[in-house]
């Protein structure tokens, strides 16, 4: 039951939902198909990617993760409302 809940939380997670399909698959595989591990990873990334400075020195919300996403061919992240 907890795996099922973790799966749904991952599917609706801002970061996971914007990963390209191959990156989602790779993440799940790296976590041995364990959705609780995937969720913990997503939460840790979210906590560690607060405001960072861009190369121009400007503060950027989730800038580090955005750069990773764009390098992986993913869409730019949108802010939550």
Query: Splitting the chain (81 residues) into consecutive groups of 10 residues, what average pLDDT does each group show?
Result: 93 89 93 95 81 57 54 50 45
Establish if 33 belongs to a structural domain.
Answer: yes
Establish if 34 belongs to a structural domain.
Answer: yes
**Tokens (6 digits) for 34:** 């364990």
pLDDT at 58: 60
Domain limits for position 30: 2-71
User: Which three-class secondary structure string do you get for 33-64?
Assistant: CCHHHHHHHHHHHHHHCCEEECCCCCEEECHH
pLDDT at 79: 47
Establish if 27 belongs to a structural domain.
Answer: yes
Say if CB 70 and CB 20 are below 8 A apart: no
Considering the entire predicted model, what is its pTM?
0.62
Q: How many domains is the chain built from?
A: 1
Instruction: List C-alpha distances in Å: 36 to 11, 23, 54, 69.
Output: 12, 17, 32, 22
pLDDT at 44: 87
pLDDT at 40: 94
Say if CB 60 and CB 51 are below 8 A apart: yes
Say if CB 67 and CB 56 are below 8 A apart: no
């Amino acid at each position: 039951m907890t795996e099922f809940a973790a799966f749904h939380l991952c599917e609706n997670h801002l970061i996971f939902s914007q990963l390209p399909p191959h990156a989602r698959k790779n993440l799940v595989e790296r976590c041995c198909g364990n959705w609780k591990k995937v969720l913990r990873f997503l939460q840790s990334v979210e906590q560690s990617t607060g405001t960072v400075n861009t190369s121009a020195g400007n503060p950027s919300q989730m800038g580090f993760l955005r750069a990773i996403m764009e390098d992986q061919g993913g869409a730019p992240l949108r802010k939550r409302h």
